[in-house]
Amino acid sequence: MSRSAHTISFERPGVPLAYNIEDIPEPGPGETLVRMTMAGICGTEAHRLAGDLAAADYPVCFGHEVVGVIEALGEGVTTDFAGTPIAVGDRLYWCPPEWCGECWTCTVAGQGAACERMLWPVPFGSPNAAGFRELATLGPLSTKYRIPDGTSSESVIAFGCAMPTAMGAFRRLGPVSGTVVIQGSGPVGLASTVLASIGGADQVIVIGDPENRLEVARKLGATETIAIASTTLDERRARIMELTNGHGADIVIEAAGRAAAFPEGLGLLGYNARYVIVGLYSGDAVAPIDPVRLNNYSQRIIGSLGMPREDFLHTVELATAHGERLGFADLITHRFPLSRTEEGIATAARGESVKAVVIPD
Ligand SMILES: [Zn+2]
Ligand SMILES: [Zn+2]
């Protein structure tokens, strides 16, 4: 028996997204068939449509932040990636890009997000795990986790891939203490706000825009927010020095995705401070560094790309433990039916949404 499902495909940059009906086969051995209920729109989607992110071959399917309900299990599939039993009707959170778990990058470097064999986005026309489709076929290597009953799907998807990304950054950072400054109030900045706050920071200061995002940051645990548009670099630095008795930040998280954030962040670091760069993953950037200050203040600069697979499980656990109390679901400000995915991506790109998601038509 095959099922028909609406799917979104991307012909190539400059061509509107196509809304198709495809026949989806029964899941094969090791595969899991899932009915999408909510797929997050990531900030990278607009770059994909613009052609800034290369695809090996067009047309392709994409959408990489997804929650759905298990429709059918292929032969041999009895558990999620953590060994938790799964059954038809259970909800899953999955990461559609499948890293191989066998190459040097995956196994030795522990950088699965940069897996040499990863095929992403996936070719259109074959069963695949992409998010922007009614029925997704998850392969045996798929990172998938059961969502406990009582944990809302919204709270799991609220930050999209930004939560596991921020978890990867905090993993590389190490213990949290003192004053944490977060540059950026996009999804990675907001996810970092949660992690810094529950991780034990004394102060969490978020620099960003616009005001509705700063308001969300305060609900998520920011003790102070500084609007970029209405302040100068010197004023922001002066405020942070004031809040730290002139000592500077213990930790700065760059989640702004703008090269100009880097020299500003460096200038906020105090003694023994750590600076994690997580938002500058594309384009070209060159910035001056004062190595004498780095030396004499015993500072560290840490880069962070991606996360280990278990951070997708920890994202579900975090939503279960803190999602309701902190109102994660409120981050979802816009919902678009699958057939209007392109409009959703444009809305997110204009910064109108805190988080936009795609739902079935
Ligand atoms: Zn993403
Ligand atoms: Zn690999």
Domain boundaries, the chain: 3-147+327-359, 163-303
Assess contact for 342 and 49: CB atoms under 8 A: yes
pLDDT, average across residues 178-207: 98
Angle separating helix axes 310-318 and 162-173, nearest 10 degrees: 110
Instruction: Kindly state the average pLDDT of the residues 135-153.
Output: 96
Q: What is the mean pLDDT of residues 233-256?
A: 98
Average pLDDT of span 130-153: 96
Is the pLDDT at 281 greater than 90? The verdict is: no
Q: How far is the CA of 143 from the centre of ligand 2 (A)?
A: 13
Residue 42 structure tokens: 């990531």
Tell me which amino acid residue 154 is: E
- pLDDT greater than 90 at residue 209: yes
347 near 175, Cβ under 8 Å? no
- What fold is seen in the domain 163-303? Rossmann fold (3.40.50)
Mean pLDDT of 265-274: 98
Q: Between 141 and 83, whose confidence is greater?
A: 83
Please answer whether residues 160 and 187 qualify as being in contact, where contact means their C-beta atoms are separated by less than 8 angstroms.
yes
**Cα 125 to middle of ligand 1, angstroms:** 23
Could you tell me the pLDDT band of residue 53, with boundaries at 50, 70 and 90? confident
CA distance 178 to 196: 10
In angstroms, what is the span from residue 118 Cα to ligand 2's centroid?
A: 6
Q: Which ligand is nearest to the CA of 43?
A: 1
Mean per-residue pLDDT for 83-107?
Answer: 94
Tokens of 268: 């906020």
State percent of the chain over pLDDT 70: 100
Instruction: State the chain's mean pLDDT as an integer.
Output: 95
Peptide linkage before 175 cis (omega within 30 of 0): no
The string of pLDDT tens digits covering residues 57-92 is 899 999 999 999 999 999 999 999 999 999 999 999
pLDDT band for position 109 (cuts 50, 70, 90):
confident
Total residues found in the chain within this entry: 361
d(CA 195, CA 198): 5
The Å distance, Cα 54 to ligand 1 centre, comes to 15
Ligand nearest to the CA of 98: 2
* pLDDT of 259: 93
Strand ranges, E, within the chain: 3-9, 18-24, 32-40, 60-61, 66-73, 91-95, 122-123, 135-138, 143-146, 179-183, 203-208, 224-227, 249-254, 269-277, 300-303, 332-337, 355-359
What pLDDT is stored for residue 1 in this prediction?
Answer: 67
Residue 163 C-alpha from the chain's centroid? 5
Which range, of 2-6, 74-78, 260-264, 311-315, averages the lowest pLDDT?
2-6
Closest CA to 334 of 40, 23, 14, 4: 40
pLDDT at 54 over 80: no
- Note whether 163 and 318 are within 8 A (CB): yes
> What confidence tier does 99 reach under pLDDT thresholds 50, 70, 90?
confident
40 Cα to the center of ligand 1, angstroms: 8
Ligand 1 centroid distance, CA of 177 (Å): 28
Indicate the fold that domain 3-147+327-359 takes in CATH: Quinone Oxidoreductase; Chain A, domain 1 (3.90.180)
Ligand nearest to the CA of 104: 2
Q: 129 CA distance to ligand 2 centroid (A)?
A: 17
